[in-house]
Chains A and B, each alone.
Chain A
């Protein structure tokens, strides 16, 4: 069973740039969620994708957007990067079985300078 994989593991960007983070979900999982985790804090929900459509969103501005592909992999795009976007970005996949828990990848560490 292949777990959730994310790429890249680390990334440094400049304020105002755009970034794309990628995630491959665990085999058999068709739902993908993205979380932002600032240093010393718990993960904060960004959005969730199911059947290639966004079906839940947290309190994040529109410059945070995503995609889910037919093979259930996903991308997180962030435009107009701000210094406060520096964080660990976590992808989590789950199945549609009732109360299926989230399975997380190890994240992408984004640093905005």
Chain B
């Protein structure tokens, strides 16, 4: 199982771009990288998923280098409502392999 390592916490200010990096040195060939956001007392919410290079959607970008041993979630122009825990997840849901969540990164956006 691919283990992930993320910073425990990060602080940012409203309007700034935030980059959260996740290390996953033993990622398998079939593994995808998925990021989730979680607010207190709620379930994790899917943000973005990718396999290699760059993926962008309406809320975030995901940068994955060629060796795929790390990935960076980029949140443009954060607001106070982006304060949450962000999880990097490596695995393949379709294969029934268990997905391992790390402890996540607590992002705090300050006014």
Contacts and interface: CB of A to CB of B under 8 A. Distances in A.
Contacts, number: 64
Contacts of B93: 31, 94, 99-102
B43 A90 contact: yes
B9 interface: no
A81 interface: no
Contacts of A101: 34, 46, 49, 93
B45 interface: yes
B77 to A, nearest CB: 24
B43 A107 contact: yes
Say whether chain B's binding surface is mostly helix, strand, loop, or mixed: loop
Nearest to A50: B96
Interface string A19-47: 00000000000010101000011111100
A7 to B, nearest CB: 14
Interface in B17-44: 32, 34, 36, 41-44
A27 B45 CA distance: 17
Interface of A: 4, 31, 33, 35, 40-45, 48, 50, 55-58, 88, 90, 92, 94, 96-107, 109
Interface of B: 32, 34, 36, 41-46, 49, 51, 87, 92-94, 96-104
17 contacts: A31-B93, A40-B103, A41-B103, A42-B103, A42-B104, A43-B101, A45-B98, A45-B100, A56-B98, A99-B93, A102-B34, A102-B99, A103-B46, A104-B45, A106-B43, A107-B41, A109-B41
For the complex of A and B, 5 pairs with smallest distance between CB atoms: A104-B43, A42-B101, A56-B96, A45-B98, A55-B96
